[in-house]
Structure 1
Amino acid sequence: MAHPALKSKLEADVEIQAPPEQFFQMLVSYKLRDVQHTCNDKIQRCDLQQGEWGKVGTIIDWSYVHDGETKVAKDVIEVMDPDKHLITFRVIEGDVLKEHKSFSLSLQASPEISSSGSIVHLTLEYERLHDGIAHPETLLQLLADLTKDIDAHLPQPN
């Protein structure tokens, strides 16, 4: 039985220049593989393993740098909502599952009221294997930094 104290959620908001549609399209299209060129200090590989870019059930294989170490993850797209500019990935294999029973990441881009940009809401939901495992704040920071790197790579509105 799951220990309720081991289930947690971390959230962060990242302000970007791109409109929600543009950021979301980057995440759901074949262009996601370009993220390794945009942020090669953080992402070393992003390969379509099974399915089609931007479809629920698609499996993506990642190699990334976290806390100075190269790590791997295999994610499945669980939620894809173009109207809400929301995508959720669930990790099904990889380094993060050495310390977590379950791990998922959601990104949702919403219009920024005071500009033509967006706010990207990042959510990590996870269950640690035991109390001795730290919450993945550095992973959340990595994702926030990646979001900014992706935004910097997108064509900026005039």
Structure 2
Amino acid sequence: MSADLYGKLETDVEIKASAKKLHAIFTHKPHHISNVESHKIQSCDLQEGEWGTGSIINCNYFPDGKPRVGKDRIEAIDEEKNLITFRLIEGDLLEHFKSLALTIQANPKVGGEGCTVHWTLEYEKLHGEIVDPHTLLDFVSELSKDLEDHLLEDF
């Protein structure tokens, strides 16, 4: 693997909702995200397995206002660390990337309410002309912030 084709992007987002609630919606109820953020996520359907396990899910989403499709395998779930990793196995983005994995870890704030959502995007581009997926990282970061009000309610 060529070093210039492999990349890793990370960002943190502060939200007022608890780490447990954020983790729960991405792990056990990602299909609810489209009810709250339909302008970003049109649907998220279970293809194989069960929610909260190493399942396969299919999502229709709108980064940059363009409709996209992605099928993800849930590779890792750590309930104690509020961590989940999705690996893209089919979809539009594989036209540009050989591999793409997205990890979400929600860390409770010490001495306060809310959490810091740490997003990590690891990828390998098909060739050197492909731009790094900063817009995808921005999209998921905005999504976690947009979910904040919903997560502050009981769902």
Normalising by the smaller structure, the TM-score range is over 0.9
Counterpart of 2:9, as a letter, is L
CA distance in 2, matches of 1:136, 1:19: 28
| Cα pair 1:6 1:130 within 8 Å, conserved | yes
- Count of paired positions: 154
Partner of 2:147: 150
Counterpart CA distance in 1 for 2:23 and 2:99 is 24
RMSD (CA atoms): 1.2
TM-score normalised per structure 2: 0.95
Asked if the contact 2:107–2:117 (Cα under 8 Å) also holds between the matched residues in 1, the reply is yes
Q: Per-residue deviation at 1:114?
A: 4.8
Kept in 2: contact 1:17–1:156 (CA 8 A): no
Q: Hey, what does 2:135 align to over in structure 1?
A: 138
Secondary structure of the equivalent of 2:138?
Answer: helix
Unaligned residue ranges in structure 1 (runs of 5+): none
Q: Runs of 4+ in structure 1 displaced over 4 angstroms?
A: none
SS at match of 1:154: helix
CA deviation string 1:80-103 (max 9, x = no partner) = 000110000000000111100000
Aligned with 2:67 (options 53, 66, 70): 70
How far 1:10 sits from its partner (Å)?
0.4
Amino acid at match of 1:16: I
Identity %: 45
Q: Distance in 1 between matches of 2:152 and 2:93?
A: 32
Structure 2 stretches of 5 or more lacking a match? none
TM-score (normalizing by structure 1): 0.93
Q: Does 1:4 align with 2:9?
A: no
